[in-house]
Amino acid sequence: MSQSLSISLVQQQFPIGAVRQNVLQVIELANTAGTDLVVFPELTLTGYPPEDLLFRDDLFTLVETGLQDIQAAAYPGVLVVGHPWRQDGLLYNAASVIQNGKLIGRYFKQELPNYGVFDEKRYFTPGNAEDICTFTIKNQTFAVLICEDVWHGHPAAAAKAAGADWALVLNASPYETGKIAQRQHLLSTLAERLHLGFVYVNQAQGQDELVFDGSSMLVNPDGKLALQAPAFERDIYRAELHKNSAHVFASHQLVQPSPLSFEAEVYQALVMATRDYIQQNGFPGAVLGLSGGIDSALTLAIAVDAIGADKVQALMLPFRYTSSMSVEDATAQANTMGVKFDIVSIEPMYDSYMQQLTPLFAGKGVDTTEENLQARLRGVLLMAMSNKTGKMLLTTGNKSEVAVGYCTLYGDMCGGFAVIKDVPKTLVFRLAAYRNSISPVIPQRVIDRPPSAELAPGQTDQDNLPPYDELDAIIEAYLEQDKSLLEITAMGYAEATVKRVLNLIDLNEYKRRQSAVGPKITSRNFGKDRRYPITSAMRKQR
């Protein structure tokens, strides 16, 4: 008769640097789980990524004390907990296996990612391939792996060769579009090839520009998905494992009934990122400029869904070029969503500034200076409200605008968190429509009308930029696929248009270096993913 083993996958938030809090959470969650085996994510005790906190001795004092406290709590089953560990003068990304309060194993991550947003080789030493960590409970053998290890075949193959029935994979795997399905395909293929089951546990939280989606899973040795935890939700997910002479399998299935749509997945990522950034940094709420355009409309919807209407404040800051339609639509959305809303004209302030500036501008015609002044006046007022209320100012620029510099430094770029910074304009429209499919909060005219900054009479975005479907395709090819001018032109776009867009992207690096952090949702965002020099002659060689 087969013997069952109960297991818990802990998909939770573990804030960066909150070691004492995270230790208490490990003990509490383990007791809540109450299973034979409880698996936590990568670097549970410090949160991920701790970055240069890892250079601090006091962090390791907290980690060492925390591990002692977890052992002293003497949970009657087995805990697998991620944490950094110093040994023989070296630093490792580690996982400890604790059974009935005693350390029975410790594993060091072998494969250290050092690409994109990852800098692990800056901090950690890789573990030795020969040092395989296995343990057996109830006649089932488990091996411990950490995140990047499963993206390379040999650590999992070594675990199987060491007699493992299951690989426990601790993860801090950031979200990007397509990543959830990619992970599942990887594990299913690897499981089927090695006849090794996988217990994949991922954290669920926003951390600065990264969003960790959870999506923990259990994959049977035949490659079939046995348990799929929902994305962007925090909970403990349990299963029972059995072993007999034929195979190992999970008898209790919890498969997400219907995968999230592309738009739903991205929207939930943005909501989680916004909520966690505001709450973890201690802000009582958020404030933003609501222009009557689609970017600020989407940002408002995300903010309300993240922290609640009672914590969000919106300001409409019209000027003589602001259409009545914009005022009406902004007012309608604010009322529908139930946020505090005020309208303050910037015209008197603009006139006062121009009275002082006109003599200094003698002999010079009107240009973008006057347009930027409007944006900067709005930035001053919004920052004043942020300072006075203590609320976080959210910026509303999308990836397309940020890419080509269609935004004003110290103006509409003011703020502490850029909610849709990595969302191309074409996707902004899709997300707005998706949000309205849940409940109609964004006026349809906002989605349908041509986008405009309304900084000049009759202005539209397409006066200065290519059509957004064309612009976004060029941006994606250049930023996310590293295609050259010739390669992008070969895709069917006019050479002059491509060259202009690429030059704008490179020229505006100085703006992006001064911009607010925003959540990454694409394969390459403006942030840790793309580290471009501000001063560069590369574009002159095109």
pLDDT of 489 above 80: yes
Task: Confirm whether 133 is a catalytic residue.
Answer: no
In the chain, what is the greatest distance between 2 CA atoms, to the nearest angstrom?
Answer: 94
pLDDT of 251 above 70: no
Task: Confirm whether 42 is a catalytic residue.
Answer: yes
pLDDT of 296 above 90: yes
What helix, strand, coil percent values describe the chain, rounded to 5? 40, 20, 40
pLDDT of 213 above 90: yes
Q: What percentage of residues in the chain have a pLDDT greater than 70?
A: 94
Question: What beta strand segments (E) does 363-494 contain?
Answer: 392-395, 417-418
User: How confident is the prediction for the chain on average, in pLDDT?
Assistant: 92
Q: What pLDDT was estimated at residue 242?
A: 78
Pick the catalytic residue from 42, 120, 371, 401: 42
pLDDT band at 244 (very low <50, low <70, confident <90, very high): very low
Compare 44 and 2 and report the one with higher pLDDT: 44
Q: What pLDDT was estimated at residue 257?
A: 55
pLDDT of 24 above 90: yes
pLDDT of 460 above 80: no
Pick the catalytic residue from 111, 120, 133, 147: 147
The pTM score is 0.93
Which SS3 state, helix, strand or coil, does residue 289 take?
strand
Superfamily of domain covering 263-461:
HUPs (3.40.50.620)
The predicted-structure confidence for 144-192, as pLDDT tens digits, reads as follows 999 999 999 899 999 999 999 999 999 999 999 999 999 999 999 999 9
CATH architecture for segment(s) 3-259:
4-Layer Sandwich (3.60)
The predicted-structure confidence for 379-412, as pLDDT tens digits, reads as follows 999 999 999 999 999 999 999 999 999 999 999 9
**DSSP summary character for residue 174:** B
The predicted-structure confidence for 118-149, as pLDDT tens digits, reads as follows 999 999 999 998 899 999 999 899 999 999 99
**What integer is the mean pLDDT of 297-324?**
96
pLDDT band at 452 (very low <50, low <70, confident <90, very high): low
pLDDT band at 259 (very low <50, low <70, confident <90, very high): confident
**What integer is the mean pLDDT of 292-314?**
97
pLDDT of 453 above 70: no
Domain extents for the chain? 3-259, 263-461
**What integer is the mean pLDDT of 456-464?**
66
Q: DSSP string spanning 403-418?
A: HHT-S-TTTTT-SSEE
pLDDT of 101 above 50: yes
Using DSSP bridges, classify how beta strands 235-243 and 248-250 pair: parallel, antiparallel or unpaired: antiparallel
Among 70-84, 236-250, 324-338, 359-373, name the one with the lowest average pLDDT.
Answer: 236-250
The predicted-structure confidence for 349-378, as pLDDT tens digits, reads as follows 999 999 999 999 999 999 999 999 999 999
Q: What pLDDT was estimated at residue 314?
A: 98
Task: Confirm whether 263 is a catalytic residue.
Answer: no
pLDDT of 434 above 60: yes
Q: What pLDDT was estimated at residue 72?
A: 95
Q: What pLDDT was estimated at residue 255?
A: 55
pLDDT band at 247 (very low <50, low <70, confident <90, very high): very low
pLDDT band at 465 (very low <50, low <70, confident <90, very high): confident
**CB < 8 Å & 24+ apart, contacts of 490-496:** none
pLDDT of 435 above 70: yes
User: Which of 339, 347, 343 shows the shortest CA–CA distance to 297?
Assistant: 339
Q: Per residue, what are the HEC states of 56-98? A: CHHHHHHHHHHHHHHHHHCCCCEEEEEEEEEECCEEEEEEEEE
Q: What pLDDT was estimated at residue 539?
A: 77
pLDDT band at 64 (very low <50, low <70, confident <90, very high): very high
Compare 252 and 48 and report the one with higher pLDDT: 48
Q: What pLDDT was estimated at residue 459?
A: 62
What residues contact residue 520 under an 8 Å CB cut-off, 6+ apart?
117, 174, 175, 176, 209, 210, 211, 422, 527, 529
**What integer is the mean pLDDT of 293-302?**
97
Pick the catalytic residue from 109, 160, 421, 520: 109
Q: What pLDDT was estimated at residue 245?
A: 32
Which stretches of 221-367 are DSSP H helices? 262-280, 294-307, 324-337, 347-357
